[in-house]
Amino acid sequence: MGYDAVLLDNDGVITTITDRTVLARAVRDAFRDMGVEDPDDADVEDLVIGVTPDRLAAVAGRYSLDPRAFWYRRDLRSSLVQEREIYAGRKPLYDDVAALSEIPLPMGIVSSNQHRTIEAILDHYGLRNRFATFYGREMDPTSLARKKPATHYVDKAVADLKATNPLFVGDSESDLQAARRAGMDSVFVERDHTDPSAFRVEPTYVIDSLRELPKLVDGNP
Ligand SMILES: [Mg+2]
């Protein structure tokens, strides 16, 4: 049976990834919002990407901060700086995103970025109509256990699209893991920033451009 929907990650697939130093600055701003002027560099680093609930609890505990209030500031600051990057042209779409218009299937986005950041991207680049559904994280610590490789948001998107055989397109191991756990075939898109050599999950397909995606979907009727 052919694929009946396509889900895509955002960062590194649709838009370029955000400069790490920008994200680190947002974490420092969040500390400052909470009254911590000079956090330890290692604690800032710990909250830049790939944050787990346990890691957040450990860092918040060291400064006697409420994890929920702190995390809201961290996510809001992160989303605001990313919006600025988008408007300044420093978080552009990849050129090959245009090829998605040739795919005659419903499409969705499942991102571990904040939902409001994905909204800003879709609005700024005029992509609201291209995607039938999209999920980013709520700005709450509970979302950290729900993001990929968990299937929480993937499952929601699949249900929204009423898909029975969707395909997931991503650039990271967590994308491939989430796809496998959700019982979906996966596509790894090779970008300059990715190194799949250490991945513990094999994708179903590897492509070096989204331009290969329409044919790949079409070739599996
Ligand atoms: Mg990604």
Cα 35 to ligand 1 centroid, rounded to whole Å: 32
Specify the residue for token string 């994280």: 137
Cα 11 to ligand 1 centroid, rounded to whole Å: 4
Cα 33 to ligand 1 centroid, rounded to whole Å: 28
Cα 4 to ligand 1 centroid, rounded to whole Å: 22
Cα 95 to ligand 1 centroid, rounded to whole Å: 16
Question: Tell me, what's the pLDDT at 1?
Answer: 58
Question: Tell me, what's the pLDDT at 198?
Answer: 86
Residues 153/174, Cβ–Cβ less than 8 Å: no
Q: What is the pTM of this model?
A: 0.96
Neighbours of ion ligand 1 (CB under 5 A): 9, 11-12, 171-172
Q: How confident is the model at residue 195 (pLDDT cuts 50, 70, 90)?
A: confident
| Amino acid at site 15 | T
Cα 2 to ligand 1 centroid, rounded to whole Å: 25
Q: Report which of 181, 179, 158 is spatially closest to residue 170, judged by C-alpha positions.
A: 179
Cα 12 to ligand 1 centroid, rounded to whole Å: 5
pLDDT digits (tens, 9 = 90+) for 137-192: 999 999 999 999 999 999 999 999 999 999 999 999 999 999 999 999 999 999 99
* Sheet containing 185-189, strands listed edge to edge, beginning at the edge strand earlier in sequence: 133-137, 107-114, 5-8, 166-170, 185-189, 205-207
Query: How many whole angstroms separate alpha carbon 217 and alpha carbon 168?
Result: 11
pLDDT digits (tens, 9 = 90+) for 67-113: 999 999 999 999 999 999 999 999 999 999 999 999 999 999 999 99
Whether the per-residue pLDDT at 31 is higher than 80: the answer is yes
Cα 134 to ligand 1 centroid, rounded to whole Å: 14
> How many residues can be counted in the chain?
221
Cα 101 to ligand 1 centroid, rounded to whole Å: 20
Question: Tell me, what's the pLDDT at 194?
Answer: 86
